[in-house]
Amino acid sequence: MIRDGRSIKLSDSLYPTHSYGGAPILIKDSSLFPLWKKVQDGQRLTFEEGLVLFSTDDILGLGHMANWVKEKKTGNHGFFVVNRQINPTNICVLSCRFCDFAKKKTDPAATVMSDDAIVAACSPELTEVHIVSGLYSGWRFDQYLNVIHLIKANYPHIQVKAYTAVEIEFFARIEKISIKEVLEKMKAAGVVCIPGGGAEVFSERVRKALFPFKIGARTWLDVHRTAHSIGLKSNATLLYGHMETVEERVTHMLKLRELQDETHGFLSFIPLAYQPGTTKVVERPASALDDLKTTAVSRLLLDNFVHIKAYWVTMGEQMASVALHFGADDIDGTIGEEKIMHAARASSPVAMARERMVSLIREAGRHPIERDALYNVVASYDEADRVAVIP
Ligand code: V47
């Protein structure tokens, strides 16, 4: 680097550099300096500091900070799971403005999977089945439980991640039992983990505008608190890139951080980029920079979450791979046949094989680790693609 006619080292440059693993970190935005110091000292960032992170134009500086935290927590690992999503029905009593997946009973595109179709959707090589359904009033809670029973009876080794907090609250209402009883029955049927869906964004303003009939923050958090209290793990999501403000995104993340302090039951956080599809709350999906920023900010604010997912279905494969350097450590799974985002025309391929996941993680310079639903290691892939299975 040349300045004023003399050659200088990076460390002499206008910006402070910090070092980890021998590599210099360059942070250009001076408003990030005190935050970077706090992060390195293991101090928690505040709401206001969350806003500073979102307002910076120094995306590389932000990425360096998030990556530093990611590597401190999970080293060079990039996680994935061999999974499949099952959507027993897309019939839903709700009419959320952002959702292309839900159909009314009379819609020709409405589907309800038969028992045979549910079993046929599973196969022995799956580690996890992720069930997300619509709220279908034609089914009793027993029929939703039956989906879990069918999978466990045919494939006892498959871990079931089901249903979202929204569905759980619905089951409690139609069955006239408590949320805890619903969760206990799900656990007895074989569920190990509750997916993070249905959180959308914890804002009454946005809820009233986009999903007025869906549960709000308090109930969503209560369901997860109760799940954790009976030994179930869960994930958390944020739907971003529609009409929410950055203040609402930060508030959302801090509410999750607060519950995690209380229960330690969350496994991962998944920022979900809104896909406009035909609902078009906004014309275009969030920009690539916004995807990276949201991933990085979540990594920095959620200091008590071990895992941040770059969900390739919404981000696309390329961005998911870049996000593995902006705080994310996981790209979710092979998915099988994902329908929710594809109903909204997400552009990534419908099926993604294990090999593709491994190469995507490796191309990002990370070490591919195949995991189960609870982040136990299933296999570690070395550079020659030999698999070391870890017992
Ligand atoms: O709750 C609906 C979102 C969620 C759209 O726990 C949309 O590991 C974008 O929860 N554009 C369901 N998002 C998916 C989900 C999930 C996904 C991956 C991993 C995990 C996990 C959970 O999908 C819904 C809603 O927030 N969604 N419509 C849309 N147009």
Counting Cα atoms < 13 Å in the Cβ hemisphere of 312 gives: 29
- Report which ligand 1 atom has the smallest distance to the Cα of 196: 6
Q: For residue 95, report the distance from its CA to the centre of ligand 1, in Å.
A: 15
Tokens representing 168 are: 């759980």
Share of residues in the chain with pLDDT > 90 (%): 81
Whether the pLDDT of residue 275 is over 90: the answer is yes
Q: Which of 269, 272, 329 is the pocket-test mutation for ligand 1 (most atoms within 8 Å of CB)?
A: 272
CA 216 to mean position of chain CA atoms: 19
Domain limits, the chain: 72-380
- Report which ligand 1 atom has the smallest distance to the Cα of 166: 1
| Tens digits of residue pLDDT in 138-192 | 999 999 999 999 999 999 999 999 999 999 999 999 999 999 999 999 999 999 9
Kindly report the protein residue whose alpha carbon is nearest to atom 23 of ligand 1. 197
Kindly report the CATH class assigned to 72-380.
alpha beta
| Other Cβ atoms within 10 Å of 120 Cβ, number | 11
Residues 346, 349, 352, 355, Cα dihedral to 10°: -120
Strands (E), 49-175: 77-81, 83-86, 128-131, 159-161
**CB under 6 Å to ligand 1: residues?**
98-101, 132, 164, 195-198, 200, 235, 237, 239, 270, 272, 274-275, 277, 311, 314, 332, 340-341, 344
| Tens digits of residue pLDDT in 318-360 | 999 999 999 999 999 888 765 666 677 665 443 446 888 998 9
**Maximum mean pLDDT: which of 254-258, 313-317, 348-352:** 254-258
| Number of residues in the chain | 391
- Report which ligand 1 atom has the smallest distance to the Cα of 276: 30
Residues 282, 61, 327, 217, Cα dihedral to 10°: -50
Question: Cα–Cα–Cα angle for 180, 214, 260, nearest 5°?
Answer: 50
Do residues 305 and 318 touch, judged by C-beta distance below 8 A? no
pLDDT of 337 reads 62
